[in-house]
Amino acid sequence: GENVEQHPSTLSVQEGDSAVIKCTYSDSASNYFPWYKQELGKRPQLIIDIRSNVGEKKDQRIAVTLNKTAKHFSLHITETQPEDSAVYFCAARGGQNFVFGPGTRLSVLP
Amino acid sequence: DTEVTQTPKHLVMGMTNKKSLKCEQHMGHRAMYWYKQKAKKPPELMFVYSYEKLSINESVPSRFSPECPNSSLLNLHLHALQPEDSALYLCASSQARGVYEQYFGPGTRLTVT
């Protein structure tokens, strides 16, 4: 089955800097890769996703890149703000279900 | 309306109690999911309903019993739980099982005493 790894597990950046979170997956048949943001005590919220027929997708300060050959995808957040502080989960569609990465705790320091 | 709702928000129950968690969506989605999330961990899939039929059971203990009364509602019946079952229980829905985006409800924080 699918296995998703995520790095780093924790990340601290200064406000205004960029943050990058990387995930790798094992199933070459996976074709959908969402990213979720989960604030403390809240639900996971879909912030961006990418399908395997696209190499990059951008939405304002957030972008995701996908390298199918290497089986890895990354989340890029530019001009970070304190409200970006949260746990971020990547996921890959393994079979018909999502497999989540273990999460990255992002702290944006003022 | 892209909202999934869940009740109750918090639940404390003893190991001999029977309780139910409820989930509702009005987005016309035909796939609904139950996830369990422990602290500092990702959500773990428990059950998937596709077109109101249980299509997968990820080897979840029988003390958890799902029910899908109609395409908008999803229940999770709880009985004889253990303290280690304490967690955040998340409901999610998607347009269909598979590729489509999953939207999560706010979750029920369950504590088993």
Rounded to whole angstroms, the Cα distance separating B30 from A107 reads 36
* pLDDT of B2 higher than 80: no
Tell me, what's the pLDDT at B59?
87
Which H or E run includes A74?
A: strand A72-77
Instruction: Say yes or no to pLDDT of A7 above 60.
Output: yes
**How many C-beta atoms surround the C-beta of residue B101 within 10 A?**
14
The 8-class DSSP code of residue B101 comes to: P
CA angle B36, A92, A2 (to 5 degrees): 85
Look at residue A106 and tell me whether its pLDDT is greater than 90: yes
Q: Which two tokens stand for residue A2?
A: 């699918």
* Interchain CB distance below 8 Å, A34 and B102: yes
- Under the banding of pLDDT at 50, 70 and 90, the label for residue B103 is very high
Residue B23's pLDDT is: 98
Of the candidates A48, A77, A72, the one whose C-alpha atom is nearest the C-alpha of residue A61 is A77
Q: Which residues contact B71 (CB under 8 A, 6 or more apart)?
A: B28, B29, B30, B51, B52
- Classify residue A10 as exposed, middle or buried by CB count within 10 Å of its CB (0-12, 13-18, 19+): exposed
- Supply the pLDDT for residue A35: 97
| β-pair partners for A62 | A59, A77
- A5-12 mean pLDDT: 98
Q: What angle do CA B99, B101, B106 make, to 5 degrees?
A: 140
Cross-chain residue pair A43–B42, CB shorter than 8 Å: no
Q: Which residues pair with B103 in a beta bridge?
A: B93
B48-52: average pLDDT: 93
Q: How confident is the model at residue B97 (pLDDT cuts 50, 70, 90)?
A: confident
Classified as helix, coil or strand, B84 is: helix
User: What residues of A are in contact with residue B99 (Cβ under 8 Å)?
Assistant: 31-32, 51, 93
Is A9 a residue whose pLDDT tops 60?
yes
CB contact under 8 A, B99 and A31: yes
Whether B86 and B10 have beta carbons less than 8 Å apart is answered as no
pLDDT, tens digit, 9 for 90 and up, residues A26-72: 999 899 999 999 999 899 999 999 998 889 999 999 999 999 999 99
**Which residues from B are below 8 Å from A44, CB to CB?**
43, 90, 104
Q: Which residues of A touch B87 (CB under 8 A)?
A: none
pLDDT band at A2 (very low <50, low <70, confident <90, very high): confident
Tell me, what's the pLDDT at B10? 97
Q: Which positions ≥6 away from A87 have C-beta within 8 Å?
A: A37, A38, A39, A103, A104, A105, A106, B40
CA distance A70 to B25: 37
